[in-house]
Structure formats: structure tokens, C-alpha cells
Amino acid sequence: MGLLLLLTYTLLSSWRMVDAQRSFTIRNITLTIEPSTDVTRDTNVTLRCKAIISSSGPEALSRKYAIYKDSYLIYNKTSNTSQDLLYPLPEVRVSNIGEYKCKITIKDKEMTSEAEKLTVKGLSKPLLTFNKTVVSEQEVVTATCTAPGETGHLYFFFYKDSKEIQNYQVNSNQSEATFLFSSVGMHKIHCTYAVLVKTESFKSGESNSVSVSVKELSIKPVLEIYPQSKIYEGEKLNILCIIRELQPSSESIHLYLSQGTHLLSTGSIKVNHSMVALAKDPGDFECSLEIGNVIKVVTEKVSVTELFSAPTLTMSPAEVFQKEYMTLTCKSERFATERLNKEELTYTLEQATTSMTSSNTGVFPIKALQYDFNYTCVARAKGIMKRSETLTVRPKVSVSTPKMSVVGRAVLGQPFRIICQSDTGSLPINYTLLRDYSPLSTTSVKQPNQQAIFTVTINKPDEISRYMCEAKNSNKEGSLSKRLNAAVIVPLSHPTLTVIPKLSEISEGDDLYLICGINGTPPVTFKWYRVGNEQPLLTNTTNTNSTYYQIHKLSKEHSGIYYCEAVNHANNLVRSEKVTIDVQLALWKKALIAGFCLLLVLVLVVVCVLYFRSKRVRVPRAAVSVWSERPPEAVHDELSSVVSSEPDVEYTEVVHPQPVDPAKVPLRKGTDTVYSELKNSPHGAADPHDYGSVEYTALNGEQPEINHYHPNINSYQDLPVPVD
């Protein structure tokens, strides 16, 4: 035997080792519902789980199946065969409705099928039964509702005379309910049920209807109230709650006497209660009998006539200011003259700590407090006391001196708003705007957050102080504010752009100042622009009416057209005239150019002089002058006087012969004069005629005109015409 067990164990171990070494794959798994996914109640349904597996061995691998309904595991099984797994659902019910899946697991691999939904139609008819169908009023009976053959979670509903009165949730196919019938007569009872499947419910039809007959008990309570005639406040009431026809009973009897919701007294057979009649109390009295579960009630309404009405408290005048006198009047509008005299009715004014009595007049003169206060009036007569409703007196607060302010900014020539407001004062308050004590307009402030706002326009800055405001919240004289004191913004005007240095004196290397000035109220924002550039060169906000833009060390690139703009809180933009900046050459450059030009002129002059002198007519040295007998020293002086940087120029001297006749002397003198002037002519003169080479051929007495002396001989125009 031991040998057989050892052999079996060896074979199984070998099979398991082989099975563990086999290769396999789960190709597919499907779940099908047979015969159909949509069936009727009581159909036998089968869930078929089919797996397709490929493996390397002939034997089937061990596999584990699991079946789920709506994600809940309902069945699992381990199989060593390749046959399909079959899971039966015999005689399906609505509770079997749901989505089913199948999962297979082999070693460490698993696969789940697609979900298939099963739908079941049809529910059984519910059955209703009672333990008794004839009962007395207030008797309890038991009803049972059954859903034959149904399973799952069920809801049962019970109806009385077609009205649902009870429902229960159970996990079985039946439910019980108890009924208490308080009204006499026939009552129809039926039930239904519903099967809860996931988030859906399927409701059955109605059950059979059961008729229940309820009989009335003969025992009744009796309610009696005395007096039965007209009842006035203050009179005594006697109330009796009793059972007249008492029958033997095994159950206890209880009587309850109530007035409205207030329980007055209780007893077993008879209840008696006495009280003072008051018109304010509810006049509904109730006598209630309880015997077992049976309750019988009888009610009666009692009308009580007022002895006097509740007083009312009024105030005169309707509005009162703090510490002013007022009159409070307490009065009952109606009273029963047949039972009460007017003098018997007294009034009292109640305050928080004290009270004031005013006999039958009800008039109370008092002084208003400085805060809200509540007053109550009490009327008394024949032991009856009635209070009035509370009157809250809210003394008005006189309006304080108003204050004026400007909303935003006051701009000259533009509409702006003025607020007139008092710190204290009861609403409504009438605010009136005045100009030099003349009213302009009135605004009534009725809400706490409301403001009195006026719109005005001024054309001169000092006009703003002419406005005042008056506040008034009573018939008294109003309170007047001070004159409006606020800064007035003058719009900008007359923009100017000043250039330093002067436009004609601007040159390279200078510092340029563009000074922008305006008329108007600072602060002012200035901007400088250069034509052709949309972006401002400089933006500057200042509390003065002028400022400047500076350019250091001007150059030709700074030449252009400039202008400035200005704006202040009046939001009016003004622009100056445009100025053209032409940057001239520096002074040293001008001097250098002027010096160069002057030097160029001098050079040209010298060149011209040299050129013209080189063109003068020269006389050959072989020619014999009439003055060739001139002494040598004279010739030497002459040559020395004309020696210059022009060595090529030669002069032929004109020598007068010694006169043999004294009458000829003037001729010599005249000749010497001509020579002297020729000799002393300026050096380098640009005269094209060379008078130093003139030779006279006739010096005898046959030409007497030459022998006369002319004082103006020194003039060049008197010289003889040169010989070319």
C-alpha cells in the first residue's frame, strides 16, 4: 500500500513539473446567455463561459473560472478540462436582471469576457390578507402583502382608500403592516410591490382589494359651559366635561379638558373647571375621551365680549426733536357702557424704571430724551388689565452745520460738483445751495447713503468763495455753512518757448536751453518734442509754471525744429510755437576760415603785383639820353632809390643840360620836379606806364609852353602820354 502511494505521488509530481514547464496563451473568452438575453419570468437560463487556450501539451491546463453580476462575484470554479463552464439560473425572476461577465485565470495569466445583460420581464401579482375585516373604531388590525415566487430586494406599498399610507423595504417576498381605523364606515385596502435591481426598480400591479368595516363606539363625552348667555370680560366661567352614558368596559377611560393648546384639567369620568373670561384668550374649548385606541372629541366655541378695548398710545406732535416737549395720549377706543363707566377706566404710562398714572384722561406731557425710548400704556377696570402696543419715540436730531467740499477738482470754466453734508441730523434733510445768500437749488436727502450734490461753473478763481450751503430738517431756521474754500485749477494758456542763447548766436559747443513757460495752475507736466520724433525728448512734472530742457555741447546734428507741450489737472493740452534751431560753426572755426581766406587774398595780390610789373616796357641801354651827362653820384642815388626785389627793371634817366641862358632855369626846375615825382612814386604801384623812361626830344626855345612852371605838375594826369 505504501509503495502504491509513493508511486502515485511520484507520478503526480512529474505531471506537475511537466505542467509547470508548458507554454500556453489565452486567446479568447466569451460569455453567452442561453436561450436569450431577453426572457420572461420562470424561464430556465444558462450562462455559458467559453475559453480558447493554446498550449504546448496535449493535456488541458488547470484553470479557474469566476462569474460576476454587476461587478459582484456570484460563482467560481476550478476545472482541469477544456469544456465550457455552465452556470444555471433556474426560473429566473426580475431580481436576476443585470450584467454578467466571466473571467478565467491560468497560472499568472487571466482574461475577462465582454459583459452581457440579462433582461427578465414579468412580476407575480401581490396577495393581500387581513387577520380580521370587521373592527371597531380605533381598533388595530394586521395586513400581510405577499409577492409569490419573487426574490431579491423588495419594496411593499400599502394603500388605504387609494392613498398610500405605509411602505417597507424587505429581503423577503412578504411584508406586514398594521392599520388603525379612527373613522366609521367601509375602507378599501390594497398593496403593491417593487423589485429593486441595481439603480432601477420594477413595480408590480395592484393586489386584491380588501374591504374593512369599522363600527362606532356608543360611548361619547359631553361638554357644558356656564353661563350660556352673553359673557363679558371678568365674568366667571364654569366648564364641565363628562360621560353621560357609561357602559362597562375592560379598558380604562380618560377625559381631557383643553382650551386651545392649553390643557386645563383631566379626569376619568367627570372634569370640572372654573376661570375668568377674557376676550384675548381663545374661546375654543375641547373635551376629549380616550378608551383604548379610540379617541372621541367634542368642542364648543365661547364668545366673550370686551369690557374695554386694548388702549392705543399716540404721540403729538408726530415728530419731535431732542429735549423738546411732547404729549403722549393713552386711550381705549371702545368699552361696554352697559357694564362700565368711563370714570372707572384708568390709564398708566409705563417706562423702563418709572410709571405715571393719569386717572381717566390718559394724557401725559413729557420731555423727549436724547435717544430712542419705548413707552407702554396700561388700561385697568374691574380687575381687567390691558396693555397697548409699545410706542418707540425716536427724537429727531437737529441738523449740524453743514460742510462743503468739491468732488474731484474745481476747474475754471468747467462744470464741477459740490457736496454739502452735515455730520449729524435726522433724515430727511433739505440742502440748499446759495450764491451770495441767494438760493440756487435745493436737494432733499432721505436715505443714509444719499448725498446732496450740486453742479456749478465759475469763470474767475475767487468766485468759488461766493458759494454757501444751508441744511434744514425741521420748520426751524436752517444751519448755514461757511463759504466754500477750495483750490481752483486754472487751465493752461499762452505757452511760450524761449531759446537761450539767441537763435542767431547758437553755435557748436554751446549749451542750449529750451525754456517752456505757461499760464495756469501747477503742477504742470511739460514735454519737449523735436519734429520728426513722436516720442518726447523729456517729460517733467513740476510745481512751477516753467521749466527747461537742456542740450549740452551742441553739434550740427542738434539742428531741427523744436516745440513743447504742457498739461495740468484741467486736462487741457497746450502747445508752444515751433522754433528752428540752426547750429552754426564754432568761433574758432570761423576765425580759421577767415584767416585762411585773408591769406589767400594776400597771396593773390602779391602774385598779381609781380605779374604786372614783369610786363612793364624796358629801354635798351645803348640809347643815348639827353641827360646822359648827369653826374655819377646822381645816378647812384637814383639807382639806390629804385633797387628792390625786381632787379630786371631798369630806369633811363632824363637829364636836363645846364642852361646857358638864365631864362631857361625854370625849365630845369620843372624838369627836376618831374623827376622827383617820378622818383618818389610808390614802390610796386600797379601802373602799366613806365614814366621813368620818357625821353624828350625837343628842349629848345621853340616850344615856349614847356618853359612855364605849373604848380600841379605832381598830378599823374599832367604827365605826358607814355610812349609805347
**pLDDT tens digit sequence for 571-586:** 889 999 999 999 887 7
- pLDDT at residue 609 greater than cutoff 60: yes
Give the mean pLDDT of 634-662.
41
Q: Kind of pairing, strands 127-130 and 210-215?
A: unpaired
pLDDT at 358: 64
Q: What is the pLDDT of residue 33?
A: 95
What residues contact 500, with CB distance under 8 A and at least 6 apart? 512, 513, 515
Average pLDDT over residues 619-636: 44
Query: What are the pLDDT digits (tens) for 279-311?
Result: 877 778 899 888 776 778 889 888 888 889 889
Helix (H, G, I), strand (E, B) or coil at 387: strand
Q: How far is CA 347 from CA 234, 328, 341, 355, 368, in A?
A: 18, 12, 14, 10, 20
Q: How confident is the model at residue 512 (pLDDT cuts 50, 70, 90)?
A: very high
Amino acid at position 211, single letter: S
pLDDT band at 669 (very low <50, low <70, confident <90, very high): very low
Question: 299-308, 480-489, 505-514, 632-641: lowest mean pLDDT where?
Answer: 632-641
Which segment of 104-118, 603-617, 683-697 scores lowest on mean pLDDT? Answer: 683-697
Residue 106 in contact with residue 24, Cβ under 8 Å?
A: yes
Tell which wins on pLDDT, 348 or 628. 348
Cell numbers of 236, please? Answer: 366667571
Minimum mean pLDDT among 51-65, 343-357, 554-568, 658-672: which range?
658-672
Amino acid at 646: E
Lowest-confidence range among 213-227, 352-366, 432-446, 532-546? 352-366
| 678 touches 692 (CB < 8 A) | yes
Question: According to the model, what pLDDT value does residue 686 have?
Answer: 38
- Read off the pLDDT of each residue in 536-554 and give the average, rounded to a whole number: 93
E-strand ranges in 388-482 read 391-393, 403-407, 410-411, 416-421, 429-435, 438-445, 452-456, 467-472, 479-480
Quote the pLDDT of residue 7: 58
Going from the N-terminus, what domains does the chain have, and what CATH number goes with each? 23-120 (2.60.40.10), 124-215 (2.60.40.10), 221-305 (2.60.40.10), 312-393 (2.60.40.10), 403-489 (2.60.40.10), 493-581 (2.60.40.10), 617-718 (no CATH)
Residue 233: pLDDT band (50, 70, 90) is: confident
Bridge partners, residue 528, by sequence: 538, 564
pLDDT for 540 beyond 50: yes
The pLDDT of residue 550 is 94
| 608 exposure class (CB count in 10 Å sphere: 0-12, 13-18, 19+) | exposed
Q: How is residue 217 annotated by DSSP?
A: P
Residue 593 reports pLDDT greater than 90: no
Confidence of residue 420 (pLDDT cuts 50, 70, 90): very high
Residue 16 has pLDDT above 90, yes or no: no
SS3 218: coil
- The more confidently predicted of residues 478 and 249 is 478
Q: Percentage of residues in the chain with pLDDT exceeding 90? A: 37
Per-residue pLDDT at 694 exceeds 50: no
Answer yes or no: are the C-beta atoms of 128 and 171 closer than 8 Å: no
Average pLDDT over residues 187-197: 91
For residue 294, what is its C-alpha cell?
379610540
The whole-number pLDDT of residue 247 equals 64
Per-residue buried b or exposed e for 574-591, using 16+ beta carbons within 10 Å of the residue's own CB = bebeeeebebbeeeeeee
Half-sphere exposure of 549 (CA within 13 A, CB side): 21
pLDDT for the residue 359: 62
How do residues 393-416 score in pLDDT, each as one tens digit?
889 888 999 999 999 999 999 999
- Can you give the pLDDT at residue 368? 86
Confidence of residue 118 (pLDDT cuts 50, 70, 90): very high
On average, the pLDDT of the chain sits at 80
Q: What is the pLDDT of residue 696?
A: 35
Q: Is the pLDDT of residue 68 over 60?
A: yes
Over 70: is that where the pLDDT of 619 sits?
Answer: no
More confident residue, 392 or 205: 392
Gap between the Cα atoms of 439 and 455, Å rounded? 14
541: left (phi over 0), alpha (psi -120 to 50) or beta: beta
Q: Where are the beta strands (DSSP E) in 552-628?
A: 560-567, 574-575, 579-581
Residue 619, C-beta contacts closer than 8 angstroms, at least 6 positions apart: 650, 652, 693
Cα separation, 364 vs 325, whole angstroms? 11
How do residues 345-375 score in pLDDT, each as one tens digit? 889 988 755 666 666 688 888 888 888 889 9
**Which residue type is seen at 152?**
G
Distance CA 658, CA 282 (A): 184
Cα 598 to chain centroid, rounded? 78
Q: Which among 137-141, 496-500, 644-648 has the top mean pLDDT?
A: 496-500
Predicted local confidence at residue 662, as pLDDT:
42
At 9 the pLDDT is 59
| pLDDT surpassing 50 at residue 659 | no
pTM confidence score: 0.41
More confident residue, 668 or 413: 413
Provide the pLDDT confidence category of residue 418 given band limits of 50, 70 and 90: very high
Q: What pLDDT, on a 0 to 100 scale, did the predictor assign at position 34? A: 93
Instruction: Report which secondary-structure segment, H or E, holds 517.
Output: strand 512-519
Looking at residue 251, what is its pLDDT? 64
**What gap in Å lies between CA 32 and CA 67, rounded to an integer?**
12
Residue 342: is its pLDDT beyond 50?
A: yes
Average pLDDT over residues 139-156: 90
Q: Please state, in angstroms and rounded to a whole number, the distance separating the CA atoms of residues 438 and 648.
A: 113
Rounded to whole angstroms, the Cα distance separating 639 from 636 reads 5
pLDDT of residue 10: 57
Q: Which of 208, 238, 233 is nearest to 304 (CA)?
A: 233
Which contacts of 350-358 are long-range, i.e. CB under 8 A and separated by 24 or more positions? 350/375, 350/376, 350/377, 350/378, 351/375, 358/330
Q: Please enumerate, as own/partner, the contacts of 70-78 that have beta carbons within 8 Å and a separation of 24 or more.
A: 70/98, 70/99, 70/198
Which set of grid coordinates corresponds to residue 361?
384722561
SS3 of 366, please?
A: strand
pLDDT tens digits, one per residue of 371-395: 888 999 999 988 888 999 999 988 9
**pLDDT confidence bin for 675, thresholds 50/70/90:** very low
CA angle, 223 then 227 then 228, to 5°: 70
Residue 370 has a CB neighbour count (10 Å cut-off) of 10
Cβ(526)–Cβ(542) under 8 Å? yes
Q: What is the pLDDT of residue 231?
A: 85
DSSP structural state of residue 334: -
Measured between alpha carbons, how far is 523 from 567 in angstroms, rounded to an integer? 9
Say yes or no to pLDDT of 250 above 60: no
Q: How confident is the model at residue 629 (pLDDT cuts 50, 70, 90)?
A: very low
Residue 448 has pLDDT above 80, yes or no: yes
pLDDT digits (tens, 9 = 90+) for 470-488: 999 887 788 899 999 999 9
Q: Which cell goes with 541?
A: 512734472
Q: Is the pLDDT of residue 705 over 50?
A: no
Which of 98, 89, 86, 105 has the alpha carbon at shortest distance from 32? 86
Residue 282, SS3 per DSSP: coil
